[in-house]
Amino acid sequence: MPDCSTEPRLIAFDMDGTLIADRFIFRLARRFGFEAELKEIMSRNTPEYEKTRSIVSLLKGMRTKEVIDTFDQIPLSPGAQMTVEELKREGHVLAIISDSYTLVTERLKKRLSFDYTVANKLVVKGGKLTGEVEMPLNWTSNRTGCLKHSVCKLNALVSLSEKTKIPLERTIAVGDNVADICMLRQAGLGIAFNPKTRAVEQSADITIKGDMSGLLTIIRE
């Protein structure tokens, strides 16, 4: 039963390095041998959505089964499962907002009983990836966020806030990397979880390191 003493919040989590203990695309690169190409693309001084297109082109011909199998080998971050179960029990609305792919975020959403996920969609034909990607295209609208990411996490958070009728001031964003900064700054409460850069930590209201269960104490207070 939900804990009626607490108003429900919309809590948006990043996936890579936050809910799961590694970046999915790095695992895929190690398994299929395109680490050098991935590193080169990620080092380019171009918008993230352009990098996303280039990275996805490296996945052409992979079977969806191989992709999912690789994802399933990545462990959850310490404390993530228990934390999510408690948040659900207390009646909060949970979302995954990721610049990864719906092929795996939907899988994690189902596994952890999340309510929503927003991510890039890989194009699949005949059980294989075509090397093409459909983006949420929030980066084409400068309504609230930036124009450079393949998934503008702030725009996604605002959209979910409107959909759920939970105001932005009652939202919580949890992330670890630079793509999460806009969302961390504008959410009602921004939480950096094991932040990868100083800028991420400075953009958040609170930092948690190690085990995610520290999140429960913060939200309950």
For residue 73, count CB atoms less than 10 angstroms from its CB and return exposed for 0-12, middle for 13-18, buried for 19 or more: exposed
> For residue 65, how many other CB atoms are within 10 A of its CB?
10
Active-site annotation holder among 3, 14, 99, 115: 14
Q: Which position has the token pair 């983006």?
A: 135
Strands 128-134 and 116-125 come out as: antiparallel
How far is it, in rounded angstroms, from Cα 78 to Cα 64? Answer: 27
**Residue 3, amino acid:** D
> E-strand spans in 86-196?
93-101, 116-125, 128-134, 171-175, 189-193
How far is it, in rounded angstroms, from Cα 54 to Cα 66? Answer: 20
For residue 148, count CB atoms less than 10 angstroms from its CB and return exposed for 0-12, middle for 13-18, buried for 19 or more: middle
The reply to whether 72 belongs to the active site is no
Active-site annotation holder among 3, 16, 115, 211: 16
Contact 84, 115 (CB under 8 A): no
How far is it, in rounded angstroms, from Cα 207 to Cα 215? Answer: 9
The reply to whether 69 belongs to the active site is no
* Catalytic site positions: 14, 16
